[in-house]
Structure 1
Amino acid sequence: MRIVITGASSGLGEALALHYAKEGHSLVLIARRADRLEAVAEQCRRAGAEVETIEADVTDFGRMRQIGEMLANDRIDRIILNAGMSLGHGGGVTPFEDFERLFATNFLSVHALLEPTIPKLTEQKKGEIVFISSLASLLSMPTSIAYSSSKRALNAYAEGLHYQLSPHGIKVMTIMPGFIDSEMTQKNRFKMPFFMSTEEGVRRIVRAIGRQKHRYAFPFRFYLMIRIVSMLPQPLRDKIVHFTNFKKGA
């Protein structure tokens, strides 16, 4: 299987690459930090995988479209859209430049890569597109408006793509994890509920992909809590959100 992974130089992307390398898949790893990317690639090669690396900043949309065209010259079995960033949790209004950079990374870059690759997938009449979203997409906290908004937009995009591509035999999956140990979460300075190790997070993600789950949110207890809060009357929901946000030190 030929698997493309974005954001493959660290965190979930690195761990997913190493997992699939051990299974002997052919990998295309994309990330902006060349030294880190090559180090991950070398580990994957030692595990027995054939690996191609592509150094690229996903916010360079022209470059991402070129990469998509290049990928479409060969078979594509699975694309895991993992590249993402967070601004952390802070008060006040997010500067436009930061907001723009976050949306470019977490959302717009996805379509830049997929625009040239989707025709290849429909031609194949098979393939998988996996979006790594977040539980934060389900309930926007006042300290992470930009991040939650970008991931909610990603969910909507993935949902539409699912309906568009399913008649062509293409599986579209949206994975919504909670807090997993990574460079992104290590910036947080508050107690993260149901925090899990990278290994446990990857194990669950891999299992969901293997079962071709259309939408998968975890851990379930955290997801359930968010769903319950979302269904509460607005005044009560406001109190819970503001209390939770106060606990983060905002």
Structure 2
Amino acid sequence: MRIVITGASSGLGEALALHYATKENQLILIARREDRLNDVASRCRNKGAEVETIIADVNDFERMREIAEHLGEQPIDRIILNAGVSVGHGGGITPFEDFERLFKTNFLSVHALLEPIIPKLMEQKSGEIVFISSLASLFTMPTSIAYSSSKRALNAYAEGLHHQLCPHGITVMTIMPGFIESEMTQKNQFEMPFFMSTEEGIKRITEAIERKKIRYAFPFRFYLMIRIVLLFPQSLRDKIVHFTNFKKGA
């Protein structure tokens, strides 16, 4: 299986690369940090996988389009769009530069890479596109407006793409994890509900991919809590948000 993974030098991307590192798989790992990516690639090769590394910043959209043309020269079985950033949970108004960076990394870079690849997938009438979103996309806290907005946009994009590509034999999946141990969550200075280890998170993600779950949110208790809160009257939701922010110290 030929698998493309973005953001593969650390966190969930690194763990996903190592999970799929078998002699049956050819991995194409994309990330901007060369030393760390080379280290991940070396460990994947030691597990028997054939590995190609591509050093690139996903915010370089022209570079993404060039990479897409290169990737499209051979059939692609699975693309896992994992690259993402956060500015943490802080008070005040998010500076425009941070807002722009989050949308470029978490959302716009996705289409820059996929636009040239999608016609190739349609020609081969197969393939899987996996978006790593977040439970934060379902409910926006005042301390994570930029991050939640970028992930909600990603959900909408993935939903439309699912309907567009399903008739062509292409599976589009959106995975929405809660708090998983990673480089990103290490920034958080508050108690994260239902926090899970990287190993458990990867197990849930990869099982959902194998089952071809079109939308998968976890952990289920956290997801259910969000869904219930969204049914509350606005006044009650406001009180919950205020209390949660107070607990965070925001």
Instruction: Verify same fold: TM over 0.5.
Output: yes
Specify the alignment match of 1:75 in structure 2: 75
Question: How many Å apart are 1:22 and its aligned residue?
Answer: 3.3
- The CA RMSD measured in Å over matched residues stands at 0.6
- Aligned ranges for residues 57-136 of structure 1 at < 5 Å? 57-136=57-136
Residue identity in the other structure for 2:68: G
Which shows bigger deviation, 79-88 or 17-26?
Answer: 17-26
Question: How many Å apart are 1:23 and its aligned residue?
Answer: 6.1
Specify the alignment match of 1:226 in structure 2: 226
In 2, distance between residues paired with 1:99 and 1:23? 40
Specify the alignment match of 2:161 in structure 1: 161
In 1, distance between residues paired with 2:88 and 2:22? 33
Specify the alignment match of 1:216 in structure 2: 216
Q: Which runs of 5+ in 1 are unaligned?
A: none
Q: Which runs of 5+ in 2 are unaligned?
A: none
Residue identity in the other structure for 2:166: S
Question: How many Å apart are 1:24 and its aligned residue?
Answer: 3.1
Question: How many Å apart are 1:25 and its aligned residue?
Answer: 0.9
In 2, distance between residues paired with 1:53 and 1:107? 22
Would you identify which runs of 4 or more consecutive aligned residues in structure 1 move more than 2 Å?
Answer: none
CA deviations over 1:62-96 (Å, ceiling 9, x no partner) = 00010011101111000000000000000111010
Give the match's secondary structure for 2:191. coil
Question: How many Å apart are 1:242 and its aligned residue?
Answer: 1.1
Specify the alignment match of 1:39 in structure 2: 39
TM-score normalised to structure 2 length: 0.99
Are residues 1:246 and 2:243 paired?
Answer: no
Specify the alignment match of 1:146 in structure 2: 146
Specify the alignment match of 2:4 in structure 1: 4
Question: How many Å apart are 1:246 and its aligned residue?
Answer: 1.4
Identity of aligned residues (%): 80
In 1, distance between residues paired with 2:206 and 2:178? 15
In 1, distance between residues paired with 2:6 and 2:47? 20
In 1, distance between residues paired with 2:12 and 2:123? 30
In 2, distance between residues paired with 1:210 and 1:179? 22
In 2, distance between residues paired with 1:22 and 1:77? 15
In 1, distance between residues paired with 2:213 and 2:39? 31
